Chains A and B, each alone.
Chain A
Amino acid sequence: MALISARNLHVGQRLAQVSLDLAPGELLGVIGPNGSGKSTLLNCLAGLVEVNEAMGGEIDFDGRSLRAIPPRQRARQIGLLPQAGDSAWSLTVGDVVALGRLPWGDEDAAAIRQAMDLAGVAALAGRRVDALSGGERARVWLARVLAGQPRLLLADEPIASLDLHYQCSVMAVLRQYAQAGNGVIVALHDLGLAARYCDSLCLLRQGRVASQGPARSVLTAPMLSEAFGVPIHVDLDATPPIVTPK
């Protein structure tokens, strides 16, 4: 059974007729140009943006309508890692990660430690987040979401502005989290990494699904060239896969 399944989502002018399914253990990449509706889609799936019901839009999580799940229960099941996180205060890494336990109302030390280990930030636990580098901070935000042990993790451009090492390490963590039986949906701009790490892809263009399915069927030169408006070279047989503007 699908962990989350969205049908016919419409949100203002930003999303139209978007449908998708995600099974447990699957890593789905959402790709598309800026303003194509990736963040809106993730916020919708997180239950933060109202879906236009008049247009027949609905989201089911684990067989239940997402709307019928109380916010706190929803937050235990679905974790959202927003784009460009920041902390207003000079909190320690340990305190930021512990915030991920808020939906559970506990400070489960084992879950927090596990999340920090998985994201590779255990050694930073006592440091202040504002004193960390961008790459370290991105992994701290990720650890915060992992600490809530959500069954569905939604990550909005988690590797934007990271160097190559951190890009791969964050994608590997997401891959590992999906393999443990959870669902992961990640919005991405790096199509090469999307081809390498995701089980399936969803290409959005102007708020609509332009293509959906395994990397091979979505990442075709004509499809991408049309979506992004530049000629694109695709070689999925290379190791690692290459998707780059010509």
Chain B
Amino acid sequence: MKRWVVLLLLVCLLAVALLSLHVGSAPVPALGGLLDWLSGREGAAALIVGEIRLPRTLLALAVGAALGLSGAALQGLLRNPLADPGLTGASQGAALGAAGVFYFGLFPAAGDAAPALAGLLGAGLALLLMLALAGSSRPAMVIMAGLAISTLTGAALATVLNFAPNPYAMQELVFWLLGSVSERGLDHLWLLLPALVVGGALVLHQRPLLAALSLGDQVAESLGLPVGRGSRWVVLGVALLVGASVAVAGSIGFVGLVVPHLLRSLVGHRPDRLLLPSALAGAILVCLADICVRLLPPQHELKLGVLTALIGAPLFIWLVWKERRRWL
């Protein structure tokens, strides 16, 4: 069952990636342009596909994979289908880090990648604070501590916005926060990829723990699994994934919440088997959303994060409705 799900998602991912290379304001042959760019031949098609659409596509895929994977991991860890990656406080920490760059000009040497770098640092700091506050990896404590740190970083972000030095800086930050993968180059991908690999490895390594946690902490511990240490690795992995994706692409909501839900019944509800399919489906979803954004008229640019929120919120309401029926 799981194998064909992964295979099917891989095929969809390739198709969506090709479509993403094809879609844009200038009609150019996607495959031809990509081959030209790869072989170093010059031309308009090679330039458009290789320098603009390829980074954008890869970035959308990587951000989606990070968000989908982190959502599946966090829901498995907290045993809560409504857990969202933003819960760890990492997203808000990343936003605050990036705001620091826009206002105080941190990391001038990093150039365009400075917001991403600062975002990653912000996510890491928020996470450390959250772990220190939670004291343990008990789901209820992680949620409470995550909420507390999110509120704190949210307040700090509001303060920064309040004292914005000029309206342009504020506008730049707000647009960045809305989430997008456009106007970013491969250097952003190089920031995101290591976080995706390390965070993904940390989470995937804890698959047995996530499976055992289905039956509770006590069972997992009696099965010889290090519940406390393993949970901390998962939280760290999730923070890396979420922090890096927010740092690079701003806030793209609801992907981590909704994607695991859509796939859960296809993998027999097993939290360990949900991870890889969620990463693939997250990548597909964000890339598709980005394609939709590009198809809209250019004078009314819709930000990617706004579109995912517009699609995700009704889905979330539907989930709550479905969950509510279980209890009534």
Identify the A interface with B (CB < 8 A).
43, 46, 48, 70-76, 78-80, 82, 85-92, 95-96, 99-100, 102-103, 105, 128, 141, 144, 148
Using known A-B contacts A87-B215, A89-B214, determine if residue A74 contacts B224 with beta carbons closer than 8 Å.
yes
Q: Which 10 A-B pairs have the closest CB atoms?
A: A75-B224, A88-B79, A80-B222, A72-B224, A71-B224, A89-B269, A90-B269, A102-B223, A103-B224, A82-B218
Main secondary structure of the interface of B (DSSP, over half): loop
Q: Give how many B residues have a beta carbon under 8 Å from the other chain's beta carbons.
A: 22
B219 is an interface residue with CB less than 8 A from chain A:
yes
B112 is an interface residue with CB less than 8 A from chain A:
no
Residues of A within 8 A of B218 (CB): 43, 48, 80, 82
B219 touching A85 by the CB < 8 A rule?
yes
Main secondary structure of the interface of A (DSSP, over half): mixed
Using known A-B contacts A90-B269, A95-B270, determine if residue A82 contacts B214 with beta carbons closer than 8 Å.
no
B208 is an interface residue with CB less than 8 A from chain A:
yes
Residues of B within 8 A of A82 (CB): 216, 218-219, 222
Partner of A71, one of B211, B216, B226, B269: B226
The closest CB in chain A to the CB of B211 belongs to A99
Using known A-B contacts A89-B271, A91-B270, determine if residue A102 contacts B208 with beta carbons closer than 8 Å.
yes
How distant is the Cα of A128 from the Cα of B269 in the complex, in angstroms?
A: 10
Residues of A within 8 A of B271 (CB): 89
The closest CB in chain A to the CB of B271 belongs to A89
Min CB distance, A72 to chain B, in Å? Answer: 4
B216 touching A86 by the CB < 8 A rule?
yes
Q: Mark B249-281, 1 if CB is under 8 A from A, else 0.
A: 000000000000000100011110000000000
How distant is the Cα of A46 from the Cα of B226 in the complex, in angstroms?
A: 14
The closest CB in chain A to the CB of B213 belongs to A88
A102 touching B222 by the CB < 8 A rule?
no
A85 touching B270 by the CB < 8 A rule?
no
B144 is an interface residue with CB less than 8 A from chain A:
no
Partner of B225, one of A90, A96, A102: A102
Min CB distance, B92 to chain A, in Å? Answer: 27
Residues of B within 8 A of A79 (CB): 222
Residues of A within 8 A of B215 (CB): 85-88, 96, 99, 141, 144
B223 touching A91 by the CB < 8 A rule?
no
Given contacts A72-B225, A102-B223, A144-B215, 20 further A-B contacts (CB under 8 A): A48-B218, A70-B224, A71-B226, A73-B224, A80-B222, A82-B219, A85-B219, A87-B214, A88-B79, A88-B80, A88-B216, A89-B270, A90-B269, A96-B214, A99-B215, A102-B208, A102-B225, A103-B223, A141-B215, A148-B223
Residues of B within 8 A of A105 (CB): 208
B323 is an interface residue with CB less than 8 A from chain A:
no
Partner of A91, one of B80, B208, B214, B224: B214
Min CB distance, A47 to chain B, in Å? Answer: 8
Residues of B within 8 A of A88 (CB): 79-80, 213-216
B172 is an interface residue with CB less than 8 A from chain A:
no
Residues of A within 8 A of B208 (CB): 102, 105
Min CB distance, B25 to chain A, in Å? Answer: 45
Min CB distance, B277 to chain A, in Å? Answer: 15
B268 touching A92 by the CB < 8 A rule?
yes
How distant is the Cα of A96 from the Cα of B92 in the complex, in angstroms?
A: 37
Residues of B within 8 A of A48 (CB): 218, 221-222
Residues of A within 8 A of B223 (CB): 75, 99-100, 102-103, 148
B222 touching A91 by the CB < 8 A rule?
no
A102 touching B212 by the CB < 8 A rule?
yes
Q: Which residue, of A74, A91, A141, has the highest number of chain B Cβ atoms within 10 A?
A: A91
Partner of B224, one of A86, A95, A102: A102
Query: Can you give 14 A-B contacts (C-beta < 8 A)?
Result: A43-B218, A48-B222, A72-B224, A75-B225, A80-B222, A82-B216, A87-B215, A88-B80, A88-B213, A88-B215, A88-B216, A92-B268, A95-B268, A99-B219
Min CB distance, A95 to chain B, in Å? Answer: 6
Residues of A within 8 A of B80 (CB): 88
B214 touching A46 by the CB < 8 A rule?
no
